[in-house]
Amino acid sequence: MECEEQIYRFRDSAGSRFRPFSESVNIRNQSYSKLLQRYICDFSAETAFGHVQEKIMEHHGVKIANGAAYRFTIDHAKKISEKKLSSFLNSDLPAPKEPIIAQSDGSMIPILEHEETPDDTTEDRRKAKRILKWKEARLSLACTKDLENIYFAATTGSPEEAGKQLKICVQGVGGNDHSRIHGVGDGAPWIANQFEEQFGSNGNYLIDFMHLSGYLSAASEAHPTEKKAQWLEEQKAAMKENQSEQVLARLKPYIEALDKENRPVADCYRYIKNRPKQFNYQEAIKEKLPIGSGQIESAHRYIVQKRLKVPGAWWKPENAQHMLNLRVLRANKNWSNYWQQVE
């Protein structure tokens, strides 16, 4: 009797056939639960898609289909991309009393594009010519001075998009329109321009001291005396004391002739001369703020390059952005929040 009642429950509405058990509990054959999809995305976020199948079997004893890692990870990365970056902000964070550190930098990632051959207009992409190129991924971060809070954003888009993201990063650590912003970056004009555009008089942007030291070091090789190392240290110490005009005066007599192929002194002179107000190291050192951009350079390695530059990997342009968003979501510790919203 109990068996008959159980069978009856699995009849369809017409009562003409028996419904499979998987239908009765809303599970499809060979479907992937949300938990399994998360496991797949966890591994895919950190390693090449081709290794995920083996790792899922090793750690969870489940065999997944070929291509499942790519399919599910890109699908969830697209869903993450559909959400606004600002939607993940924690509005309860108090505004920091000390300056917020903000940095941006770019690095190249491998991009794969397709171009149809002249005699082929079909949809068969296998017959299309493959074009491999490199595209800049712009990563931004903001953090409090004590490094308790840090927020990231990344884009393969324009410098303007990166600038807007940098401002959102500042908001992500509690910053507002009145917060003081301390920026450090290399000599790329787009970084300084966007920093100025987004923060104006609230911001103080510095050239990365190690980057500057590289120019000074190259210039020291052209110095005529044997005390090149001493001369170099003297110029670095002068720059830390905001004596850029004095350093320019010391460089000027040794600027190479225009007909020379290599002109390290001229390059160093021009580098400092063209970036006024970007060498205020004295104030930063006094406030114990960084004068180097090592934090953003390191973040490029563990957020962008660790996954998007694995050997043999080439990304479609749209998928590169989706994976960047996924990696940033994890770095911002919003990964669990995302999966709680997944139906």
Per-residue pLDDT tens digits for 104-147: 999 999 999 875 555 555 556 556 677 889 999 999 999 999 99
CA dist., res. 338 & res. 329, Å (int):
9
Res 42: pLDDT: 97
Q: Is residue 50 part of a domain?
A: yes
Q: Is residue 186 part of a domain?
A: no
Res 242: pLDDT: 97
Is the Cβ–Cβ distance between 229 and 216 less than 8 Å?
no
CA dist., res. 120 & res. 88, Å (int):
45
Res 65: pLDDT: 94
Of 145, 164, 175, give the one whose Cα is nearest residue 153: 164
**Least confident piece of the model among 78-82, 218-222, 323-327:** 218-222
CA dist., res. 214 & res. 199, Å (int):
28
Domain that holds residue 62: 2-84
The first and second tokens of residue 146, run together, are 């004590």
Instruction: State pTM to two decimals.
Output: 0.85
Q: Is residue 45 part of a domain?
A: yes
For residue 282, what pLDDT band results from cuts at 50, 70 and 90? very high
Q: Mind listing the pLDDT tens digit for each residue in 223-273?
A: 777 788 999 999 999 999 999 999 999 999 999 998 888 999 999 999 999
Q: Is residue 25 part of a domain?
A: yes
Over residues 1-30, the mean pLDDT reads 46
Quote the number of domains for the chain.
Answer: 1
Q: Mind listing the pLDDT tens digit for each residue in 180-215?
A: 999 999 989 999 999 999 999 999 999 999 999 999
Res 343: pLDDT: 80
Q: Is residue 267 part of a domain?
A: no
